[in-house]
Amino acid sequence: MPIEVKVPTVGESITSGVLGVWNKPDGAYVKAGDPLFEIETDKVTSEVVAESAGLLKHLVKAGDTVQIGQVVANIDEKAPAPAEAAAPAVQENGAKKEASRVEAAAPVAAGARGKAADEISPAVRYQAAEKGIDPSKISGTGKEGRVTKGDVLAAPEKSVPSVASASKGERTSRKKMSPLRQKIAARLLAVQQETAHLTTFNEVDLSNVMALRTKFQDRFVKKHEVKLGFMSFFVKAVVHALKVVPAINARLDGDEIVQNNFYDISCAISTDKGLFVPVIRDCDTMSFADVEKAIAMYAKKARDGKITLPDMEGGVFTITNGGVFGSLMSTPILNPPQCGILGMHTIQERPVAINGRVEIRPMMYLALTYDHRLVDGKEAVTFLATIKEVVENPAAVLLEV
C-alpha cells in the first residue's frame, strides 16, 4: 500500500495553509530525505521531505489550500528505481551511435552559466519566476553545478518577463494574497487599532562604531568567522537601555502589567516571501560575535524558507533596519504584545555641530515607537537617549556603565 504524504503540524494555532510549490514533479522517483513540497501558512513556510523512497503521485496542485493532516501525495515504495542511463556506445567505425531511451541533455560548454533547462527543479523555477529572472542564466553552486533556490535569491533582478506578469496590453493583473501576507496585513491593522502607539526620534553619530569596525574587522572575522556588523552594537545598546528603562521591557495582559526580566530581542529580516522576526535569546549573556552569528543564522533560515514558529516567539523588544534599503526616516509599527520597537535607518554623512565647529559625521536617524498606554514620554525619550549614548560610546557596553 502506498505511503501517504500528509501536511504536517507547524504550530498549535495553524489549521491550514497553501501548498506553494512542488519540488518534485508528479511521477518522479524520490529518495528518502528529498524535499517534496513547501507549505505556506500565515506564519511560516515549511519544507516537507520524503520519508521513504518510491514513486511520487500528486493528489493536489500547487497553489491549492490544504488542511493540516490532509493527504496531498502518495509514495509507492514497491515501484522500481529507474536504471541509470547508460552512456551512448560508439561503434568502432565511428559512423553510428546507439540511441538512448531518454534523450541526453545538451552538454554545457566550458564557461557557460547555469544548467540545462531540464535540470532546474520546479522550486527553483518558482523562485526565479517570482523575481523575473531566467534560472538558466544563473551560475549554480549546488551539486554538479545545479542552480539552487539560494542562487536565485542571491541573483540580481533582470528584465526577463515573469511567468506571473500581465500579458501585453493588460493594464492590471490579480493574484491571491499568500497566507503570510494576509496575516501580516491583519496584524498591522490590529496594532494600529488596538494600541496607543507614538513615535519619538533621535539621531546618532556612528563615527566611533565605524572606527572600531575598521580597526578590528579583520581580526574579528579571522577569530569568529563572521563579520562585525552594526546590528550587534544596537542589540547590546537595546539591552543596556532596557535595563535603564525597564518599563519598556514589559507588556500588557488585560489590566495587568507583565514585567520581563529577560532580554530576548527580535530582529526583523526581510525576504521575498515577507517579513520574518526571529528572536535572539538571552542577548544580555551573548558576546558581539554570538549576536552576529545568530543574526546570520536566522537570515539564512528565513531566505531558505526554513524558519520555524518557535524561532519567532517570545521576544520582548524588536529592532528593524530599514536603512539597508535606503530609508532615511520612518515610524515602525509595534510587534505585539511587545510595547517597543526601534527603527534604524540609512547612514548619511551630514554636517553637525561638534564643540562649536561644523564637522561632517556619519549620522543615522533612530525612531522608537512605543505603546503610550504602558510607556510615558519621559521613559521613551530616556530609552532612546540611552541607546544614542551607548552607540556613540561603545566602550560603555564593555565597561557596563
**CA gap 226, 245 in Å, rounded:** 31
Residue 58 among the catalytic residues: no
Residue 372 among the catalytic residues: yes
Q: Is the peptide bond before 351 cis (omega within 30 degrees of 0)?
A: no
Annotated catalytic residue: which of 134, 224, 264, 372?
A: 372
Residue from 213, 195, 191 nearest 277 by CA: 191
The whole-model pTM stands at 0.65
Residue from 172, 168, 124 nearest 148 by CA: 124
Three-class DSSP category at 116: coil
CB 299 within 8 A of CB 307: no
**CA gap 367, 390 in Å, rounded:** 16
- Phi (first) and psi of residue 231, to 5 degrees: -60, -40
**Strands 197-205 and 357-371: what pairing?**
antiparallel
Q: Grid coordinates standing for 378?
A: 519621559
Q: List the pLDDT tens digit at each of the 401 positions of the chain.
A: 788 999 888 766 677 888 878 989 998 999 988 889 888 776 677 788 898 899 999 999 888 888 888 999 999 988 888 765 444 444 444 444 443 333 333 333 333 344 444 456 655 665 666 666 777 777 777 656 777 766 776 676 554 444 444 556 688 888 777 776 777 788 788 888 888 999 999 999 999 999 999 999 999 999 999 999 999 999 999 999 999 999 999 999 988 999 999 999 999 988 776 778 999 999 999 999 999 999 999 988 888 878 888 898 899 999 999 988 889 999 999 998 999 999 999 999 999 999 999 999 999 999 999 999 999 999 999 999 999 999 999 887 666 65
Residue 352, judged by CB atoms within 10 A of its CB (0-12, 13-18, 19+), counts as middle
Three-class DSSP category at 10: coil
Domains and CATH numbers, the chain: 3-76 (2.40.50.100), 123-154 (4.10.320.10), 192-399 (3.30.559.10)
